[in-house]
């Protein structure tokens, strides 16, 4: 795990704390009243990430497995700088794009084309980049004549394809993916997985959090197993998943 | 009160550092400006797309307000304004106030209502309150021709002061952004703030010379009264549209107040906004 010069993402000793209130004040009135109560402001610190370290090479795909609440989503959000971390260091040598949800920021009243422009801006694409990728996005999303209709008329599949198509056209160095691949149907997978593999061959690094172990072993060069916010294991997919699977069965019982 | 027993004592706790080397995603003002433009358009579109009258709705609101306020304050309360028909005075102030208060209120809920976006993407959060204000700025500009027509029909002729309109518009926009950013960063933590804010803006309206002339405020209270930064701005609006005398002192207070609110708003926003998804 020595961070070589080709490491595009370095994560060193990252801790992330959540404050768990016994009864969290959610309003001014509540907060005011609590100050005067005995035990009114009792909370407990809960560590969602504990001393997580790893590094990622250019073009490498890292899978993250672990049960619910193991810290997978928190880790992705810390990597994207959506959530501030409590301690630690993250060094990014390039551009990060998130695929934490498909169609975030879509506006149902706008057409597909308008939503591509809007979503492109949200993802940080320039006007020229949006224009140059427009046809390719439309083609990948396979929307046909629907592209000029409001997206409230789209099927769930069209909606997901459009969200995915925009994200993969951002030309990011690092793509962070959270459970996206679990939601789609068979056809969606047939379209997306080869595309992700093609991007990996072209040098895009990925961090993919998923419950779908088959998908992780298919897409990833390495898998990291998180449990209670700690890295249990980090290594070749076959080895890590073999150790992790028994825990999965126990958890499901 | 906190328990950090989970941390092993040998772990050296460092201040968090998030460092991007090279081509970061939000490294240029161009991209941020572009996103602000798109988000402004987004909030305008979400209001007007699919409504048959579209932008005409922006005009319906001020026209109805004009009838109601003119009836109440001119006919019932017999208010007068120096040199101009009272309804013109009223309309000029009310339109500016509506822009300011609606913009600040919508900006204040922008982080909460945009939570799904904030939670899933990496763009700079300040885009949300700024574009909420700018969407209302567009609405204000769209309503201005109506105001000019109304002023003209009432027999008031513009003076050279009208050329100061961009400056007045900028002041309104900046104070709304400052206040909107300030309130937006507090809103996720205290949800009942929303109800307080509405009452607060109603009170503020009556502490500003909009539905009455400032001469009704007793002389000895005037200097306290002018500490409200909106007083100078609204007086300035009256100067710009109706050629009323310029009050340099209260405009100066407004200028300082506006910049102060902007600075405090942005600082608090920068401090609190990253934590807004934790609640």
Q: What are the pLDDT digits (tens) for B213-269?
A: 888 889 899 889 989 999 999 999 999 999 998 889 999 999 999 999 999 999 999
CA-based nearest residue to A181, from A203, A202, A147, A206 = A206
B74: Cβ–Cβ under 8 A, 6 or more apart, which residues? Answer: B86, B87, B90
Give the confidence band of A247 by pLDDT, cuts at 50, 70, 90: confident
pLDDT of residue B53: 67
In this model, does residue B8 exceed pLDDT 60? no
pLDDT of residue B4: 44
pLDDT of residue B50: 63
Distances (CA, A) of A24 to A41, B23, B135, B189: 8, 40, 34, 10
A230 touches chain B (CB under 8 A): no
A25: Cβ–Cβ under 8 A, 6 or more apart, which residues? Answer: A31, A34, A41
pLDDT of residue A62: 96
Q: pTM (2 decimals)?
A: 0.88
Give the confidence band of A3 by pLDDT, cuts at 50, 70, 90: very low
Give ∠ CA B268-B195-B136 in degrees, rounded to 5.
65
User: pLDDT digit string (tens) for A120-137?
Assistant: 999 888 889 899 999 999
CB contact under 8 A, A90 and B6: no
B171: Cβ–Cβ under 8 A, 6 or more apart, which residues? Answer: B233, B236, B254, B255, B258
Over residues B268-272, the mean pLDDT reads 95
Give the confidence band of A224 by pLDDT, cuts at 50, 70, 90: very high
Q: Which of B31, B49, B274 sits opposite A109 (nearest CB)?
A: B49
Q: Which of B13, B34, B277 sits opposite A121 (nearest CB)?
A: B34
Give ∠ CA B110-B116-B117 in degrees, rounded to 5.
70
- The encoded tokens of residue A160 equal 């997901």
Domains and CATH numbers, chain A: 7-95+172-252 (3.40.50.300), 107-171 (no CATH)
Among positive and negative, which fits the CA dihedral A94, A98, A103, A105? negative
In this model, does residue A198 exceed pLDDT 80? yes
Over residues B47-66, the mean pLDDT reads 73
User: How many residues comprise chain A?
Assistant: 253
**Cβ pair A171, A126 in contact under 8 A:** no
pLDDT of residue A187: 81
Nearest CA in chain B to A29: B192
In this model, does residue A4 exceed pLDDT 60? no
The 3-state DSSP class for residue B33 equals: helix
CB contact under 8 A, B38 and A93: no
The 3-state DSSP class for residue A60 equals: coil
pLDDT of residue B120: 87
Q: A134 to chain B, minimum CA–CA distance in Å?
A: 16
* Phi, psi at A52, each rounded to 5°: -85, 125
A85 touches chain B (CB under 8 A): yes
User: pLDDT digit string (tens) for B112-140?
Assistant: 998 888 988 889 999 999 999 999 999 99
pLDDT of residue A41: 67
pLDDT of residue A133: 93
Over residues A40-44, the mean pLDDT reads 71
pLDDT of residue A157: 84
- The encoded tokens of residue B183 equal 């309130």
Q: Where are the domains of chain B?
A: 29-275
Q: Which of B14, B191, B193 sits opposite A88 (nearest CB)?
A: B14
Q: Which of B16, B45, B278 sits opposite A87 (nearest CB)?
A: B16
**What residues of chain A lie within 8 A of the CB of B118, using their CB?**
82
CB contact under 8 A, B22 and A93: yes
CB atoms within 10 A of CB A152: 12
- Helix (H) / strand (E) element for A84: namely none
User: For the ranges B52-56, B63-67, B236-240, which has the lowest average pLDDT?
Assistant: B52-56
Kindly state the DSSP code that residue B3 receives in the 8-state scheme: -
Over residues A169-179, the mean pLDDT reads 89
The residue whose two tokens read 């102060």 is B260
**What residues of chain B lie within 8 A of the CB of A107, using their CB?**
42, 45-46
> Under the phi-then-psi rule, with left for phi > 0, alpha for psi from -120 to 50, and beta for the rest, what region is A210?
beta
What are the strands, taking DSSP E only, across chain B?
17-20
> Which of the residues A46, A79, A109, A117 would you substitute to probe the B interface, choosing the one with the greatest number of B C-beta atoms within 10 Å?
A109
User: pLDDT digit string (tens) for A76-122?
Assistant: 999 999 999 999 999 999 889 888 888 778 888 889 999 999 999 99
The mean predicted confidence, pLDDT, of chain B is 88
In this model, does residue A185 exceed pLDDT 70? yes
In this model, does residue A199 exceed pLDDT 90? yes
Over residues A65-77, the mean pLDDT reads 91
Give ∠ CA A139-A141-A147 in degrees, rounded to 5.
80
pLDDT of residue B169: 97
Nearest CA in chain A to B36: A121
Q: Which of B11, B18, B38 sits opposite A81 (nearest CB)?
A: B18
* Phi, psi at A48, each rounded to 5°: -80, -25
CA-CA-CA-CA torsion for B214, B220, B226, B231, nearest 10 degrees?
Answer: -10
Q: B10 to chain A, minimum CA–CA distance in Å?
A: 12
**What residues of chain A lie within 8 A of the CB of B25, using their CB?**
95-97, 123-124, 172
**What residues of chain A lie within 8 A of the CB of B274, using their CB?**
83-84
Q: B87 to chain A, minimum CA–CA distance in Å?
A: 38
* Cα separation, A44 vs B223, whole angstroms: 50
CB contact under 8 A, B25 and A127: no
**Cβ pair B134, B173 in contact under 8 A:** yes
In this model, does residue A2 exceed pLDDT 60? no
pLDDT of residue A253: 41
User: pLDDT digit string (tens) for B186-219?
Assistant: 998 888 888 899 999 999 999 999 988 888 889 8
* Cα separation, B197 vs B190, whole angstroms: 12
- The encoded tokens of residue A249 equal 């069965």
Tell me which of B274 and A247 has the higher pLDDT.
B274
In the stretch 165-204 of chain A, residues with CB closer than 8 A to chain B read 172-173
How much of chain A, in percent, has pLDDT values that exceed 90? 44
* Phi, psi at A107, each rounded to 5°: -115, 120
Over residues A21-37, the mean pLDDT reads 72
Q: Which of B14, B35, B279 sits opposite A87 (nearest CB)?
A: B14
A5 touches chain B (CB under 8 A): no
pLDDT of residue A39: 64
- The encoded tokens of residue B219 equal 């002389």
The 3-state DSSP class for residue A95 equals: coil
In this model, does residue B80 exceed pLDDT 90? no
In this model, does residue B28 exceed pLDDT 60? yes
* Cα separation, B185 vs B114, whole angstroms: 12
CA-based nearest residue to A24, from B277, B269, B268, B189 = B189
CB contact under 8 A, A100 and B120: yes
- Helix (H) / strand (E) element for A7: namely strand A7-21
């Amino acid at each position: 795990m020595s961070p070589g010069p080709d490491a595009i993402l370095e994560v060193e000793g990252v801790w992330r704390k959540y404050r768990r209130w016994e009864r969290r004040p959610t309003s001014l009135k509540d907060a005011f009243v609590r100050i005067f109560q005995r035990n009114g402001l009792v909370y407990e610190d809960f560590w969602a990430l504990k001393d997580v370290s790893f590094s990622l090479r250019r073009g490498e795909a890292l899978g993250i497995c672990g049960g619910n609440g193991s810290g997978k989503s928190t880790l992705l959000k810390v990597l994207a700088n959506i959530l501030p971390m409590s301690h630690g260091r993250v060094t990014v040598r390039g551009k990060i794009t998130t695929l934490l949800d498909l169609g975030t920021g879509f506006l149902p009243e706008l057409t597909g084309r308008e939503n591509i422009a809007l979503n492109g801006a949200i993802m940080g694409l320039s006007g020229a980049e949006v224009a140059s990728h427009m046809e390719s996005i439309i083609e990948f999303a396979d929307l046909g004549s629907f592209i000029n209709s409001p997206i409230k008329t789209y099927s769930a599949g069209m909606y997901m394809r459009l969200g995915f198509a925009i994200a993969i056209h951002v030309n990011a160095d690092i793509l962070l993916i959270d459970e996206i691949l679990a939601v789609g149907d068979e056809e969606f997978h047939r379209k997306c997985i080869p595309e992700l593999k093609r991007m990996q061959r072209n040098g895009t690094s990925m961090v993919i959090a998923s419950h779908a172990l088959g998908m992780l072993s298919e897409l990833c060069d390495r898998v990291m197993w998180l449990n209670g916010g700690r890295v249990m294991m980090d290594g070749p997919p076959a080895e890590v998943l073999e150790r992790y699977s028994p825990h999965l069965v126990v958890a499901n019982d | 009160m906190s328990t950090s027993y989970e941390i092993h004592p040998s772990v050296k706790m460092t201040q968090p550092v998030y460092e991007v080397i090279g081509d970061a995603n939000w490294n240029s003002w161009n991209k941020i400006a572009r996103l602000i433009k798109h988000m402004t358009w987004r909030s305008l579109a979400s209001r007007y797309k699919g409504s048959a009258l579209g932008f005409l709705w922006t005009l319906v609101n001020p026209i109805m307000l004009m009838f109601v306020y003119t009836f109440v304050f001119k006919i019932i309360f017999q208010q007068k304004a120096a040199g101009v028909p009272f309804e013109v005075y009223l309309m000029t102030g009310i339109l500016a106030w509506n822009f300011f208060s609606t913009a600040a209120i919508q900006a204040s809920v922008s982080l909460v209502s945009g939570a799904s976006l904030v939670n899933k993407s990496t763009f700079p959060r300040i885009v949300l309150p700024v574009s909420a204000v700018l969407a209302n700025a567009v609405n204000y500009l769209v309503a201005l021709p109506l105001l000019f027509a109304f002023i003209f029909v009432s027999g008031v002729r513009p003076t050279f002061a009208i050329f100061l309109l961009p400056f007045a518009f900028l002041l309104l926009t900046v104070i709304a952004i400052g206040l909107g950013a300030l309130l937006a960063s507090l809103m996720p933590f205290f949800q009942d703030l929303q109800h307080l804010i509405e009452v607060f803006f109603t009170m503020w309206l009556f502490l500003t010379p909009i539905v009455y002339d400032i001469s009704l405020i007793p002389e000895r209270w005037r200097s306290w009264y002018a500490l409200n930064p909106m007083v100078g701005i609204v007086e300035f609006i009256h100067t710009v549209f109706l050629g009323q005398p310029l009050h340099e002192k209260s405009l100066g207070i407004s200028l300082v107040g506006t910049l102060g609110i902007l600075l405090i708003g942005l600082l608090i926003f920068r401090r609190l906004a990253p934590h807004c998804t934790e609640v």
